[in-house]
Structure 1
């Protein structure tokens, strides 16, 4: 499906048909007429911001707007076309196919022959496959179109490298509470009346939008239509309106962003932040079994032997969840999250493991020293297998100090325990055995 909008002198998307008196939604009535009127996104359109600098220098390049819904991607694309006198064409990758793209490119060529460029706005551009994305490239390179794509997904994962190399990615952010309040004031001015809400209910209304400007204006429009004798309280507001569901895609960016936040909060020993991100994922519909697996991984990766009990706590919580299910079982996982956050931290085991794996790859197939190899046959015994092996239980202190590394390889200290938790005790043991090993090497008879 292709939607062509030819800018008029006032920058609107074409004139409405005569006699069409249908009421316009508030979001449409408040649509900014210039970039200066756009609320939020100062990092993109503020002073010295990328888009401002491009417009001032007259060197606008193809763009990818990456951000959550309701942050002004479509609005800014329209305004860019108006302020640069480009023919504006909008398509959606959800509804458009190869035939639609061919039609768009041919129309753009006609406008170019008449001396006007085309700004092609592609909503949900990540929905196009590789071949469809590649089809934009020659028309971008010869100046037929200036591409502005909009996506809610990470462009580095969803868009072709060739397309990204010819575009600048601008990151749009969810609107802040201050941005939404400014939008509410603009709406009240347009409506000619205040919202029938107490200060607390007004703040609750801002929170309901979850940073989505379009959703917020829809909520404002509903609230403004209510006939009430007294301003509504937060409780009365929540009875009339539903909070917008938090943005969360179990297979997309939000999934990875939140699990990263949870993991780093645990690693940073902040139980409150860790519990918050844990609950955010649950509220978003994340599978508790996935969380149980990731929490157990945290115990191995970030705590290890600093608190050997941490891994057991995680496995027990996982088992409790499997037996109780939701929601009671989720509390067991919450116990594990708090325990991990407060546990002493060490990645010494992980570092030792990675170093040992690297050394194992490097040394290939070198054999163990013969004195620690078994000799189940006379032939092997004749080859010196097992000869000179010192049985540690017979040695002084139960420690022989023999070499167990390959003869071609120097002894390497992979494991470096930290001075935290149980690893403090392990560090003392390592130092103790190092002294005994040095003593045995200096005087084999002791």
Structure 2
């Protein structure tokens, strides 16, 4: 893991990688994560109370999970044992537990990629956590709610670590320059580009700095020159994992919140991450139905047209048509009136069970059905005044409900007028 520190270190000699040379020696030297390491943070409070419990460190790569675990062991005077779930099997775990039992002082067992253990293997930690043989600190980049079993989660506190900010990465860059004994040959904008390339990952930044520091250049590099020498890091995006759902949620909520710029940003983030544009086309159409509805009936048609345009043009040309849909949806009047009405009607349908339609609107294809009153006294609306009969269409004995209550936005203003018009006609017909 990247080792992020805050205080100067003497320059080291030898071929050790920069990330290893900058390994912090105390928790106070860690850059970032002040929300958990500070006096008010959970780890800070545990250390102050000298009562460290088992932990799950959840966060993206390169934010110091391994470093923090090692320093926690140092602060609490526990033996530090590190294993990786990728390379460790059940026999290896047994040896770790047996050795920990024989050790004079307690053991902090750090398990990297703990989500790689299956649920049965995770259960294997439980008795050793409960009897105090080990204090478990697991590290994962995946959501513990989905990847770790409930028994393990109930015995460990989840600590969320955050990607490093630009300020954190700049501080780390300065520390690296102190170790190297010289400034990086970059202009100010190029320095910002380098930090952007790291994408919140301290280890990646130090690896990039090590490459840049080895170059012999005449003048300071511009962002363009830097980009030609370094490959920009691919954005972190798992098309089938939590990030996929987080980003589509961000896109959906940005459109619902009528923010076209934010919506375009999340749309672009998903495309850059390799998302299938057809998935986005499908979800945009859903957003048009759910959040705009009849406030702007054209929204759904535009989404379908944009989807069809993409199918004809393909990528990347067709993606512009989807971007147009994103902007249109964000700026369209919003209504979930039909969405709420549909849910309410579904709920009522479940609650009322199998209540039949009233006799006058039942189908009557046979003489027997007609003799039983099916279709009797049905008033054909086109033959009535104003083409409206005002008859009851709900089951007999069911109080007439109101499911659809449109807001006064967009086209639904016109629909409110129609609802009021028919309500007055119905009242008049029933009074006659």
- TM-score clears 0.5: yes
Deviation of 1:408 (Å) = 2.5
1:25 to 9, 12, 17: 17
Q: Paired residue for 2:210, among 209, 221, 231? A: 221
Deviations 1:230-255 (A, max 9, x none): 21111111111111111111111211
1:62 equivalent to 2:62? Answer: no
Q: Distance in 2 between matches of 1:314 and 1:94?
A: 44
Deviation at residue 128 of structure 1 after TM alignment: 0.6
Aligned to 2:165: 176
**Where does residue 183 of structure 2 map in the other structure?**
194
Work out which of the residue numbers 66, 88, 97 in structure 1 matches 2:89.
Answer: 97
Report what 1:385 is aligned to: 374
Normalised by the size of structure 2, how large is the TM-score?
Answer: 0.96
Is residue 269 of structure 1 aligned with residue 258 of structure 2? yes
Shift of 1:91: 0.8
Decide which moves more: 364-373 or 228-237. Answer: 228-237
Give the equivalent residue in structure 2 for 1:403: 392
Pairing 1:83–2:72 present = no
1:393/1:399 contact within 8 Å kept = yes
Instruction: State the partner residue of 1:287.
Output: 276
* Matched residue, 1:16: none
1:416 corresponding residue in structure 2: 405
Deviation at 1:22, TM superposition (A): 5.8
Give CA deviations for 1:282-339 in whole Å, capped at 9, x if unaligned: 0000111111111111011111111111111111111111111100111111111111
Whether 2:157 is the aligned partner of 1:165: answer: no
**1:47: Cα distance to partner?**
2.2
Match of 1:318 among 270, 295, 307: 307
User: Equivalents in 2 of 1:441, 1:220: separation in Å?
Assistant: 82
Contact 1:195 1:224 survives alignment (8 Å): yes
Q: Which residue does the alignment assign to 2:234?
A: 245
CA RMSD after TM alignment: 1.0
Q: Give the Cα separation in 2 of the matches to 1:172 and 1:411.
A: 54
User: Structure 2 CA distance, aligned partners of 1:295 and 1:127?
Assistant: 34
TM-score between the two structures when normalised by the length of structure 1:
0.93
Which structure 2 residue ranges, 5 or more long, are not aligned? 1-12
Residue 328 of structure 1 aligns to a residue whose secondary structure is coil
Q: Is the 8 A contact 1:262 1:274 kept in 2?
A: yes
Contact 1:366-1:408 within 8 A present in 2 as well: no
Whether 1:71 aligns to 2:63 is yes
For residues 271 and 363 of structure 2, the distance between their equivalents in structure 1, rounded to whole angstroms, comes to 53
Q: Could you list the runs of 4 or more consecutive aligned residues of structure 1 that deviate by over 4 angstroms after TM superposition? A: none
Distance 2:365 2:226 in 1: 82
Q: Map of 1:128-167 to 2, 5 A cutoff?
A: 128-167=117-156
Which shifted more, 173-182 or 101-110? 101-110
After superposition, the C-alpha distances for 1:16-36 in whole angstroms (9 at most, x for unaligned) are xxxxx9610000000110000
Once the two structures are TM-superposed, the CA of residue 421 in structure 1 deviates from its matched residue by 0.8
Gaps of 5+ in 1: 1-20
Out of 415, 420, 431, which is 1:431 matched to? 420
Going from structure 1 to structure 2, the CA distance change for 1:22 and 1:95 (only over 3 Å counts) comes to farther
